[in-house]
A and B are shown apart, each in its own frame.
Chain A
Amino acid sequence: MSASKASAAPTAANWDEFIEGLWRQNPTFVMVLGMCPTLAVSVSAVNALSMGLATTFVLVCSCGLVSMLRRMVPKQVRIATYIVIIATFVTVVDYLIQAISLALYEALGAFIQLIVVNCIILGRAEAHASRRPPAPAMLNAFGMGLGFTLGLFALGSVREILGAGSLFGVSLFGPDFQPWVVMVLPPGGFFVLGGWLLLFAWLRRRGAHAVAGGEHVHGA
Protein backbone atom coordinates (compact mmCIF):
# COMPACT_ATOMS: atom_id res chain seq x y z
CA MET A 1 0.00 0.00 0.00
CA SER A 2 2.92 2.31 0.63
CA ALA A 3 5.42 0.98 -1.89
CA SER A 4 3.97 3.04 -4.71
CA LYS A 5 4.36 6.27 -2.76
CA ALA A 6 7.92 5.44 -1.76
CA SER A 7 9.23 4.86 -5.27
CA ALA A 8 9.39 8.55 -6.14
CA ALA A 9 12.78 8.63 -7.84
CA PRO A 10 15.32 5.93 -7.06
CA THR A 11 18.35 8.19 -6.67
CA ALA A 12 21.32 7.44 -4.46
CA ALA A 13 20.13 9.83 -1.73
CA ASN A 14 16.68 8.25 -1.65
CA TRP A 15 18.17 4.80 -1.45
CA ASP A 16 20.26 5.96 1.49
CA GLU A 17 17.15 7.25 3.32
CA PHE A 18 15.51 3.91 2.79
CA ILE A 19 18.40 1.71 3.81
CA GLU A 20 19.11 3.72 6.96
CA GLY A 21 16.11 2.35 8.81
CA LEU A 22 16.30 -1.08 7.27
CA TRP A 23 19.85 -1.84 8.30
CA ARG A 24 22.23 0.81 9.66
CA GLN A 25 19.79 2.26 12.20
CA ASN A 26 17.59 -0.80 12.53
CA PRO A 27 15.02 0.12 15.21
CA THR A 28 15.07 -3.30 16.88
CA PHE A 29 18.69 -4.38 16.79
CA VAL A 30 20.62 -1.10 16.73
CA MET A 31 18.44 1.47 18.48
CA VAL A 32 16.55 -1.02 20.70
CA LEU A 33 13.30 0.93 20.45
CA GLY A 34 9.71 -0.27 20.54
CA MET A 35 10.52 -3.23 22.74
CA CYS A 36 7.06 -3.84 24.18
CA PRO A 37 5.26 -4.93 21.00
CA THR A 38 8.45 -6.60 19.77
CA LEU A 39 8.56 -9.01 22.67
CA ALA A 40 4.84 -9.37 23.28
CA VAL A 41 3.57 -10.34 19.83
CA SER A 42 6.59 -12.20 18.46
CA VAL A 43 5.23 -15.56 19.61
CA SER A 44 4.73 -16.71 16.02
CA ALA A 45 5.97 -15.58 12.62
CA VAL A 46 2.49 -14.62 11.37
CA ASN A 47 1.73 -12.43 14.38
CA ALA A 48 5.13 -10.79 14.11
CA LEU A 49 4.75 -10.02 10.40
CA SER A 50 1.26 -8.55 10.71
CA MET A 51 2.27 -6.43 13.67
CA GLY A 52 5.28 -5.19 11.73
CA LEU A 53 3.17 -4.30 8.70
CA ALA A 54 0.54 -2.53 10.84
CA THR A 55 3.27 -0.47 12.48
CA THR A 56 4.81 0.31 9.09
CA PHE A 57 1.48 1.58 7.81
CA VAL A 58 1.01 3.88 10.82
CA LEU A 59 4.63 5.02 10.58
CA VAL A 60 4.47 5.94 6.89
CA CYS A 61 1.07 7.67 7.08
CA SER A 62 1.79 9.67 10.22
CA CYS A 63 5.27 10.69 9.06
CA GLY A 64 3.77 11.85 5.77
CA LEU A 65 1.10 13.91 7.49
CA VAL A 66 3.50 15.34 10.09
CA SER A 67 5.85 16.34 7.30
CA MET A 68 3.05 18.01 5.32
CA LEU A 69 1.91 19.95 8.39
CA ARG A 70 5.39 20.84 9.58
CA ARG A 71 5.08 24.56 8.76
CA MET A 72 1.63 24.91 10.32
CA VAL A 73 2.12 23.29 13.72
CA PRO A 74 3.31 25.67 16.50
CA LYS A 75 6.39 24.42 18.30
CA GLN A 76 4.82 24.29 21.78
CA VAL A 77 2.04 21.87 20.89
CA ARG A 78 3.90 19.74 18.38
CA ILE A 79 4.18 16.59 20.53
CA ALA A 80 0.47 16.66 21.33
CA THR A 81 -0.32 17.15 17.65
CA TYR A 82 1.89 14.23 16.64
CA ILE A 83 0.27 11.96 19.21
CA VAL A 84 -3.22 12.84 17.98
CA ILE A 85 -2.16 12.20 14.37
CA ILE A 86 -0.62 8.85 15.32
CA ALA A 87 -3.64 7.87 17.41
CA THR A 88 -5.92 8.60 14.44
CA PHE A 89 -4.01 6.26 12.13
CA VAL A 90 -3.80 3.60 14.82
CA THR A 91 -7.59 3.73 15.18
CA VAL A 92 -7.82 3.19 11.40
CA VAL A 93 -5.49 0.18 11.58
CA ASP A 94 -7.34 -1.18 14.59
CA TYR A 95 -10.66 -1.24 12.71
CA LEU A 96 -8.95 -2.47 9.52
CA ILE A 97 -7.45 -5.54 11.19
CA GLN A 98 -10.73 -6.23 12.94
CA ALA A 99 -12.42 -6.24 9.54
CA ILE A 100 -9.80 -8.38 7.79
CA SER A 101 -9.23 -11.14 10.33
CA LEU A 102 -10.91 -11.49 13.69
CA ALA A 103 -8.55 -14.30 14.72
CA LEU A 104 -5.52 -12.08 14.14
CA TYR A 105 -7.24 -9.24 16.01
CA GLU A 106 -7.75 -11.48 19.04
CA ALA A 107 -4.16 -12.74 18.89
CA LEU A 108 -2.63 -9.26 18.82
CA GLY A 109 -5.12 -7.92 21.37
CA ALA A 110 -4.46 -4.55 22.95
CA PHE A 111 -1.05 -4.37 21.30
CA ILE A 112 -2.57 -2.96 18.11
CA GLN A 113 -3.83 0.04 20.03
CA LEU A 114 -0.55 0.22 21.88
CA ILE A 115 1.14 1.11 18.57
CA VAL A 116 0.32 4.69 19.62
CA VAL A 117 2.98 4.60 22.29
CA ASN A 118 5.60 2.86 20.17
CA CYS A 119 8.66 5.08 20.63
CA ILE A 120 9.82 4.47 17.05
CA ILE A 121 6.88 6.37 15.57
CA LEU A 122 7.00 9.41 17.83
CA GLY A 123 10.78 9.43 17.59
CA ARG A 124 10.72 9.43 13.77
CA ALA A 125 8.00 12.09 13.65
CA GLU A 126 9.91 14.38 15.99
CA ALA A 127 13.47 13.79 14.82
CA HIS A 128 13.00 13.30 11.12
CA ALA A 129 9.60 13.91 9.56
CA SER A 130 9.12 17.34 11.15
CA ARG A 131 12.14 18.71 9.24
CA ARG A 132 11.79 17.05 5.84
CA PRO A 133 9.50 17.32 2.83
CA PRO A 134 6.93 14.51 2.61
CA ALA A 135 8.61 12.26 0.01
CA PRO A 136 11.96 11.60 1.77
CA ALA A 137 10.23 11.52 5.16
CA MET A 138 7.86 8.81 4.02
CA LEU A 139 10.63 6.89 2.30
CA ASN A 140 12.67 6.95 5.49
CA ALA A 141 9.61 5.93 7.52
CA PHE A 142 8.99 3.05 5.14
CA GLY A 143 12.57 1.85 5.59
CA MET A 144 12.24 2.11 9.38
CA GLY A 145 8.97 0.22 9.28
CA LEU A 146 10.48 -2.56 7.18
CA GLY A 147 13.46 -2.68 9.52
CA PHE A 148 11.10 -3.08 12.45
CA THR A 149 9.17 -5.79 10.58
CA LEU A 150 12.46 -7.56 9.86
CA GLY A 151 13.41 -7.45 13.55
CA LEU A 152 10.00 -8.74 14.60
CA PHE A 153 10.16 -11.51 12.02
CA ALA A 154 13.66 -12.54 13.12
CA LEU A 155 12.38 -12.84 16.67
CA GLY A 156 9.03 -14.40 15.83
CA SER A 157 10.40 -17.08 13.51
CA VAL A 158 13.05 -18.22 16.01
CA ARG A 159 10.49 -18.36 18.79
CA GLU A 160 7.99 -20.27 16.66
CA ILE A 161 10.59 -22.74 15.34
CA LEU A 162 11.95 -23.53 18.79
CA GLY A 163 8.77 -23.12 20.79
CA ALA A 164 6.29 -24.90 18.54
CA GLY A 165 8.51 -26.71 16.02
CA SER A 166 6.84 -24.99 13.09
CA LEU A 167 7.06 -21.94 10.85
CA PHE A 168 3.92 -20.13 9.59
CA GLY A 169 1.98 -22.99 11.17
CA VAL A 170 3.77 -25.63 9.03
CA SER A 171 5.39 -28.34 11.11
CA LEU A 172 9.15 -28.56 10.48
CA PHE A 173 10.56 -31.38 12.55
CA GLY A 174 7.84 -34.04 12.45
CA PRO A 175 5.89 -35.43 15.40
CA ASP A 176 8.92 -36.51 17.45
CA PHE A 177 10.05 -32.95 18.12
CA GLN A 178 9.82 -31.91 21.75
CA PRO A 179 9.00 -28.16 21.67
CA TRP A 180 10.88 -25.77 23.95
CA VAL A 181 7.74 -24.38 25.55
CA VAL A 182 9.67 -21.67 27.37
CA MET A 183 10.37 -19.96 24.03
CA VAL A 184 6.72 -19.01 23.46
CA LEU A 185 6.37 -17.94 27.11
CA PRO A 186 7.49 -14.45 28.22
CA PRO A 187 11.06 -15.40 29.29
CA GLY A 188 11.73 -16.79 25.80
CA GLY A 189 11.15 -13.36 24.30
CA PHE A 190 13.86 -11.84 26.46
CA PHE A 191 16.26 -14.70 25.79
CA VAL A 192 15.84 -14.72 22.01
CA LEU A 193 16.18 -10.94 21.70
CA GLY A 194 19.21 -11.05 24.00
CA GLY A 195 20.67 -13.76 21.78
CA TRP A 196 20.15 -11.76 18.59
CA LEU A 197 21.72 -8.65 20.13
CA LEU A 198 24.61 -10.78 21.33
CA LEU A 199 25.14 -12.10 17.82
CA PHE A 200 25.17 -8.59 16.34
CA ALA A 201 27.51 -7.27 19.05
CA TRP A 202 29.86 -10.17 18.35
CA LEU A 203 29.75 -9.56 14.59
CA ARG A 204 30.46 -5.87 15.09
CA ARG A 205 33.44 -6.63 17.32
CA ARG A 206 34.75 -9.13 14.82
CA GLY A 207 34.40 -6.51 12.09
CA ALA A 208 36.30 -3.99 14.21
CA HIS A 209 39.02 -6.55 14.87
CA ALA A 210 39.29 -7.35 11.18
CA VAL A 211 39.78 -3.68 10.36
CA ALA A 212 42.31 -3.19 13.13
CA GLY A 213 44.28 -6.38 12.56
CA GLY A 214 44.56 -6.05 8.77
CA GLU A 215 44.49 -9.40 7.03
CA HIS A 216 45.29 -11.42 10.11
CA VAL A 217 41.69 -12.31 11.10
CA HIS A 218 40.59 -14.76 13.72
CA GLY A 219 37.31 -15.04 15.64
CA ALA A 220 37.05 -12.71 18.62
Chain B
Amino acid sequence: MAPESALQILAATILANNFVLAMFLGLCPFLGVSGRLETAFPMGLATTFVMLIASLCAYGLNLVLGALHLEFLRLISYIAVIASAVQLVEMVIKKYSPALFRALGIYLPLITTNCAVLGVALFQTAREYDFVQSIAFSFGGGAGFTLALVLMGGLRERLALANVPAVVQGVPLALILAGLLSLAFMGFAGLGG
Protein backbone atom coordinates (compact mmCIF):
# COMPACT_ATOMS: atom_id res chain seq x y z
CA MET B 1 0.00 0.00 0.00
CA ALA B 2 2.69 2.48 1.03
CA PRO B 3 4.96 3.27 -1.93
CA GLU B 4 7.42 5.48 -0.04
CA SER B 5 11.01 4.33 0.13
CA ALA B 6 12.77 3.75 3.44
CA LEU B 7 14.92 6.84 2.93
CA GLN B 8 11.89 9.06 2.39
CA ILE B 9 10.28 7.74 5.55
CA LEU B 10 13.47 8.35 7.48
CA ALA B 11 13.76 11.97 6.33
CA ALA B 12 10.07 12.64 6.88
CA THR B 13 9.92 11.23 10.42
CA ILE B 14 13.06 13.00 11.63
CA LEU B 15 12.20 16.45 10.29
CA ALA B 16 8.86 17.10 8.59
CA ASN B 17 6.73 14.79 10.72
CA ASN B 18 8.85 15.01 13.84
CA PHE B 19 7.27 12.75 16.45
CA VAL B 20 7.27 15.32 19.22
CA LEU B 21 6.78 18.62 17.42
CA ALA B 22 4.38 17.66 14.64
CA MET B 23 2.63 14.50 15.81
CA PHE B 24 2.48 15.21 19.55
CA LEU B 25 3.90 11.88 20.64
CA GLY B 26 6.06 11.55 23.72
CA LEU B 27 5.35 14.93 25.27
CA CYS B 28 5.67 13.83 28.89
CA PRO B 29 9.41 13.06 28.71
CA PHE B 30 9.82 15.99 26.32
CA LEU B 31 8.59 18.39 29.00
CA GLY B 32 9.93 16.37 31.93
CA VAL B 33 13.50 15.38 31.04
CA SER B 34 14.50 18.20 28.71
CA GLY B 35 15.73 20.42 31.54
CA ARG B 36 19.39 19.57 30.96
CA LEU B 37 21.38 18.38 27.94
CA GLU B 38 23.21 15.59 29.73
CA THR B 39 20.01 13.73 30.61
CA ALA B 40 18.16 14.65 27.41
CA PHE B 41 20.55 12.84 25.08
CA PRO B 42 20.75 9.45 26.90
CA MET B 43 17.00 9.54 27.40
CA GLY B 44 16.57 10.00 23.65
CA LEU B 45 18.91 7.10 22.94
CA ALA B 46 17.15 4.78 25.40
CA THR B 47 13.77 5.66 23.89
CA THR B 48 15.09 5.12 20.35
CA PHE B 49 16.32 1.68 21.33
CA VAL B 50 13.00 0.74 22.87
CA MET B 51 11.20 2.06 19.80
CA LEU B 52 13.31 -0.11 17.50
CA ILE B 53 12.61 -3.21 19.58
CA ALA B 54 8.92 -2.35 19.85
CA SER B 55 8.69 -1.84 16.11
CA LEU B 56 10.36 -5.16 15.32
CA CYS B 57 8.19 -7.04 17.82
CA ALA B 58 5.06 -5.31 16.61
CA TYR B 59 5.83 -6.33 13.05
CA GLY B 60 6.23 -9.97 14.05
CA LEU B 61 3.21 -9.93 16.36
CA ASN B 62 1.07 -8.40 13.68
CA LEU B 63 1.88 -11.26 11.30
CA VAL B 64 1.00 -13.85 13.94
CA LEU B 65 -2.21 -12.11 15.05
CA GLY B 66 -3.24 -11.59 11.43
CA ALA B 67 -2.73 -15.28 10.65
CA LEU B 68 -4.80 -16.32 13.68
CA HIS B 69 -7.50 -13.65 13.14
CA LEU B 70 -6.98 -12.21 16.61
CA GLU B 71 -6.68 -8.53 15.65
CA PHE B 72 -8.60 -7.40 18.72
CA LEU B 73 -5.69 -8.58 20.89
CA ARG B 74 -3.27 -6.30 19.06
CA LEU B 75 -3.26 -3.45 21.56
CA ILE B 76 -2.85 -5.69 24.60
CA SER B 77 0.00 -7.71 23.10
CA TYR B 78 1.82 -4.58 21.90
CA ILE B 79 1.77 -3.00 25.31
CA ALA B 80 2.96 -6.22 26.98
CA VAL B 81 5.92 -6.43 24.60
CA ILE B 82 6.83 -2.78 25.16
CA ALA B 83 6.69 -3.19 28.93
CA SER B 84 9.13 -6.11 28.76
CA ALA B 85 11.48 -4.22 26.41
CA VAL B 86 11.58 -1.30 28.82
CA GLN B 87 12.37 -3.67 31.69
CA LEU B 88 15.32 -4.97 29.65
CA VAL B 89 16.69 -1.50 28.91
CA GLU B 90 16.29 -0.56 32.55
CA MET B 91 18.35 -3.55 33.69
CA VAL B 92 21.09 -2.84 31.14
CA ILE B 93 21.41 0.83 32.12
CA LYS B 94 21.35 -0.03 35.83
CA LYS B 95 24.20 -2.51 35.30
CA TYR B 96 26.47 -0.37 33.14
CA SER B 97 25.76 3.20 34.27
CA PRO B 98 24.25 3.58 37.75
CA ALA B 99 24.79 7.35 37.63
CA LEU B 100 22.70 7.68 34.49
CA PHE B 101 20.13 5.36 36.02
CA ARG B 102 19.69 7.73 38.95
CA ALA B 103 19.62 10.82 36.74
CA LEU B 104 16.80 9.46 34.57
CA GLY B 105 14.89 8.38 37.66
CA ILE B 106 11.19 7.77 37.28
CA TYR B 107 11.25 8.68 33.59
CA LEU B 108 13.02 5.46 32.67
CA PRO B 109 10.24 3.01 33.65
CA LEU B 110 7.80 5.57 32.27
CA ILE B 111 9.09 4.87 28.75
CA THR B 112 6.44 2.13 28.88
CA THR B 113 3.76 4.79 28.91
CA ASN B 114 5.55 6.94 26.36
CA CYS B 115 3.08 7.43 23.54
CA ALA B 116 5.94 7.64 21.05
CA VAL B 117 6.79 3.97 21.58
CA LEU B 118 3.26 2.64 21.31
CA GLY B 119 2.66 5.23 18.58
CA VAL B 120 5.37 3.71 16.40
CA ALA B 121 3.78 0.29 16.69
CA LEU B 122 0.27 1.58 16.01
CA PHE B 123 1.13 3.90 13.13
CA GLN B 124 3.23 1.34 11.30
CA THR B 125 0.34 -1.11 11.56
CA ALA B 126 -2.18 1.47 10.39
CA ARG B 127 0.00 2.45 7.41
CA GLU B 128 0.80 -1.19 6.57
CA TYR B 129 4.55 -0.64 6.38
CA ASP B 130 6.69 -3.62 5.37
CA PHE B 131 9.73 -4.78 7.35
CA VAL B 132 12.31 -2.29 6.01
CA GLN B 133 9.85 0.59 6.13
CA SER B 134 9.01 -0.26 9.75
CA ILE B 135 12.65 -0.13 10.77
CA ALA B 136 13.16 3.18 8.97
CA PHE B 137 10.01 4.55 10.59
CA SER B 138 10.98 3.58 14.13
CA PHE B 139 14.59 4.69 13.72
CA GLY B 140 13.55 8.00 12.22
CA GLY B 141 10.98 8.48 14.96
CA GLY B 142 13.58 7.80 17.63
CA ALA B 143 16.12 10.12 16.01
CA GLY B 144 13.51 12.85 15.69
CA PHE B 145 12.54 12.40 19.34
CA THR B 146 16.20 12.65 20.39
CA LEU B 147 16.68 15.72 18.21
CA ALA B 148 13.69 17.50 19.72
CA LEU B 149 14.76 16.55 23.26
CA VAL B 150 18.34 17.78 22.72
CA LEU B 151 17.22 21.05 21.10
CA MET B 152 14.82 21.69 23.94
CA GLY B 153 17.45 20.75 26.53
CA GLY B 154 19.92 23.25 25.08
CA LEU B 155 17.33 26.01 24.95
CA ARG B 156 16.17 25.42 28.48
CA GLU B 157 19.74 25.42 29.82
CA ARG B 158 20.14 28.91 28.36
CA LEU B 159 16.75 30.00 29.63
CA ALA B 160 17.63 29.00 33.18
CA LEU B 161 20.02 31.96 33.18
CA ALA B 162 17.61 34.40 31.57
CA ASN B 163 15.49 36.79 33.55
CA VAL B 164 11.86 36.00 32.71
CA PRO B 165 8.69 37.18 34.49
CA ALA B 166 7.76 34.88 37.35
CA VAL B 167 4.34 34.10 35.85
CA VAL B 168 5.71 32.40 32.73
CA GLN B 169 8.32 30.36 34.53
CA GLY B 170 8.05 26.58 34.30
CA VAL B 171 5.55 24.80 32.11
CA PRO B 172 4.01 27.81 30.27
CA LEU B 173 7.43 28.93 29.09
CA ALA B 174 8.35 25.39 28.01
CA LEU B 175 5.13 25.09 26.04
CA ILE B 176 5.55 28.39 24.24
CA LEU B 177 9.14 27.43 23.47
CA ALA B 178 7.93 24.11 22.09
CA GLY B 179 5.41 26.00 19.97
CA LEU B 180 8.19 28.12 18.46
CA LEU B 181 10.29 25.01 17.77
CA SER B 182 7.29 23.36 16.18
CA LEU B 183 6.75 26.44 14.01
CA ALA B 184 10.36 26.19 12.89
CA PHE B 185 10.00 22.49 12.07
CA MET B 186 7.00 23.27 9.89
CA GLY B 187 9.54 24.76 7.51
CA PHE B 188 10.51 21.18 6.66
CA ALA B 189 6.98 20.34 5.50
CA GLY B 190 6.93 18.41 2.27
CA LEU B 191 10.42 17.05 2.79
CA GLY B 192 10.47 13.33 2.04
CA GLY B 193 6.84 13.36 0.92
Q: Does B172 contact A (CB under 8 A)?
A: yes
Q: Are A187 and B179 in contact (CB under 8 A)?
A: yes
Query: Residues of B contacting A205 with CB < 8 Å?
Result: 166-167
Query: Residues of A contacting B182 with CB < 8 Å?
Result: 186-187, 190
Q: CA of A11 to CA of B168 in the docked complex: distance in angstroms?
A: 39
Q: CA of A201 to CA of B169 in the docked complex: distance in angstroms?
A: 9
Query: Residues of A contacting B123 with CB < 8 Å?
Result: 110
Shortest Cβ gap from A111 to chain B (Å): 9
Q: Are B171 and A197 in contact (CB under 8 A)?
A: yes
Question: In residues 87-106 of chain A, which contact B (Cβ within 8 Å)?
Answer: 87-88, 90-91, 94-95
Q: Does B75 contact A (CB under 8 A)?
A: yes
Q: Does A182 contact B (CB under 8 A)?
A: yes
Given contacts A117-B115, A119-B113, A201-B172, contact A190 B72 (CB under 8 A): no
Query: Residues of B contacting A90 with CB < 8 Å?
Result: 75
Nearest-neighbor residue (CB-CB) of A86 within chain B: B79
Give the number of chain B interface residues (Cβ < 8 Å): 41
Q: Does A202 contact B (CB under 8 A)?
A: yes
Query: Residues of A contacting B83 with CB < 8 Å?
Result: 79-80, 83
Query: Residues of A contacting B117 with CB < 8 Å?
Result: 117
Q: Are A36 and B28 in contact (CB under 8 A)?
A: yes
Q: Are B76 and A117 in contact (CB under 8 A)?
A: no
Majority-rule SS of B interface residues: helix
Q: CA of A91 to CA of B73 in the docked complex: distance in angstroms?
A: 8
Query: Residues of A contacting B25 with CB < 8 Å?
Result: 36, 40, 114
Given contacts A35-B31, A36-B27, A187-B179, contact A198 B72 (CB under 8 A): no
Query: Residues of A contacting B76 with CB < 8 Å?
Result: 84, 87-88, 91
Q: Does B175 contact A (CB under 8 A)?
A: yes
Shortest Cβ gap from B168 to chain A (Å): 6
Give the number of chain A interface residues (Cβ < 8 Å): 42
Shortest Cβ gap from B122 to chain A (Å): 4
Q: Are A194 and B27 in contact (CB under 8 A)?
A: no
Q: Are A119 and B28 in contact (CB under 8 A)?
A: yes
Q: Are A40 and B24 in contact (CB under 8 A)?
A: yes
Given contacts A87-B79, A94-B75, A113-B122, contact A190 B171 (CB under 8 A): no
Question: In residues 183-209 of chain A, which contact B (Cβ within 8 Å)?
Answer: 185-191, 193-194, 197-198, 201-202, 205
Q: CA of A191 to CA of B186 in the docked complex: distance in angstroms?
A: 15
Q: Does B178 contact A (CB under 8 A)?
A: yes
Which 4 residue pairs are nearest across A and B when measured between Cβ atoms?
A: A190-B179, A194-B175, A40-B24, A35-B27
A interface, CB within 8 angstroms of B: 32-33, 35-37, 39-40, 79-80, 83-84, 87-88, 90-91, 94-95, 109-110, 113-114, 116-119, 122, 182, 185-191, 193-194, 197-198, 201-202, 205, 220
A-B contact pairs, 20 of them (CB 8 A): A33-B28, A83-B79, A87-B79, A90-B75, A110-B122, A114-B25, A114-B119, A114-B122, A117-B115, A117-B117, A117-B118, A119-B28, A182-B183, A191-B175, A193-B175, A197-B175, A198-B168, A201-B168, A205-B166, A220-B167
